[in-house]
């Protein structure tokens, strides 16, 4: 089994930042790429090597983790000008950690493999706190050789790796289902909290009760706290779920599946985005419901 100590992380957002720091803590030499200069400065302060282009980040890296927002950005950072494929040496392993439609993941993986690269379809879940502690869940599919070469990286960033098949696309399919549940649970959390506020229930008390009751979920425990504290600093933004639930409903339509709850949740996220909340924490969908019902949430401006 070949292990590696050179890695690149392209996209130092909430999850990519956590992965990069986890790799540094595990003793990797890590090159990180992001469009924000302040993030690169902070990355250098934490011991990483900042890069302004994907090509610079991928140079000499044995494993390259892609943490950008959507499939268009993945294509740009891989195949565009100054893209990672310009400098990556075969058979580098590309871990595609971005949530994408399975069909998009498959097409991108085929282009990388045609260039002699190894690919792991590796969408992740667990939130920014688990990313920082190296305890995310990876829903992964790819060739055995790719997993062998990336095993040390996977050990550094994750608590659990589910190997879902030998070909790219399977990981993205499972992540799509996860995002269906996550988006619906966030919308349900917002609805429950808004109803409670309208009814005059103390939200902190409600939160404490539900967290130890049958109605709880991981998303309620995580996002419900954001609503209770009135803190909508984006850990995962509203616009992320506009994208992810859009993938769910689109892929469901192609398959002939019926997803009414996902569609309802998507409509709420779209409405929040169109109201100017797209870059706020995804729990901010509660603001839309509160405004419509005349409820007052913590942190609301008079």
Q: Report CA dihedral (172, 6, 11, 76) to the nearest 10 degrees.
A: -70
**Residue 59, CA distances (Å) to 7, 67, 88, 114 in order:** 9, 17, 6, 19
Contact criterion met (CB below 8 Å) for 220 and 265 = no
Give CA–CA dist 22/27, Å, rounded: 9
Cβ–Cβ < 8 Å for 95, 62: no
21 close to 132: Cβ distance less than 8 angstroms: yes
Q: How far apart (Å, rounded) are the C-alpha atoms in residues 101 and 104?
A: 5
Comparing CA positions, the residue from 150, 142, 120 lying closest to residue 28 is: 150
DSSP character at residue 237: B
Q: Are strands 136-142 and 158-163 parallel, antiparallel or unpaired?
A: parallel
Contact predicate 64/58, CB 8 Å: yes
- Selecting among 160, 175, 198, 254, the annotated active-site residue is 175
Half-sphere exposure in the Cβ direction for 197 (13 Å, CA): 24
Q: How far apart are the first and last CA of the chain?
A: 61
Q: CB atoms < 10 A from the CB of 123, how many?
A: 25
With CA atoms as reference, report the closest residue to 107 among 75, 80, 82, 139.
75
Number of helices (H), then strands (E), in the chain: 13, 9
Closest to 252 (Cα-Cα) out of 184, 177, 192: 177
- Residue 72 annotated to the active site: no
Please identify every residue annotated as catalytic.
175
């Amino acid at each position: 089994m070949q292990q590696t100590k050179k890695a690149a992380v392209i996209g130092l957002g909430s999850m990519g930042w956590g992965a990069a720091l986890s790799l540094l803590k595990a003793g990797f030499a890590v090159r990180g790429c992001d469009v924000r200069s302040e993030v690169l400065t902070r990355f250098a302060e934490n011991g990483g090597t900042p890069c302004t282009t994907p090509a610079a980040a991928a140079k000499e890296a044995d494993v390259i983790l892609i943490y950008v927002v959507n499939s268009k950005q993945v294509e740009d950072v891989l195949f565009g000008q100054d893209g990672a494929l310009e400098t990556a040496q075969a058979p580098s392993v590309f871990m595609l950690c971005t949530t994408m439609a399975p069909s998009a993941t498959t097409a991108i993986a085929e282009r990388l493999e045609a260039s002699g690269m190894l690919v792991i379809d590796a969408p992740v879940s667990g939130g920014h706190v688990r990313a920082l502690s190296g305890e995310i869940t990876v829903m992964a599919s790819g060739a055995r050789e790719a997993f062998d070469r990336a095993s040390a990286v996977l050990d550094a960033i994750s608590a659990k790796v589910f190997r879902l098949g030998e070909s790219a696309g399977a990981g993205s399919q499972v992540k799509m289902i996860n995002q269906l549940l996550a988006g619906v649970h966030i919308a349900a959390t917002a609805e429950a909290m808004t109803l409670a506020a309208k009814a005059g229930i103390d939200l902190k008390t409600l939160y404490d009760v539900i967290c130890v009751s049958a109605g709880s979920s991981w998303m309620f425990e995580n996002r419900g706290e954001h609503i209770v504290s009135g803190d909508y600093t984006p850990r995962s933004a509203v616009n992320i779920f506009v994208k992810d639930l859009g993938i769910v409903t689109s892929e469901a339509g192609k398959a002939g599946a019926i997803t009414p709850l996902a569609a309802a949740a998507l409509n709420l996220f779209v409405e929040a985005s169109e109201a100017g909340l797209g870059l706020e924490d995804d729990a901010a969908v509660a603001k839309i419901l509160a405004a419509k019902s005349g409820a007052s949430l913590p942190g609301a401006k008079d």
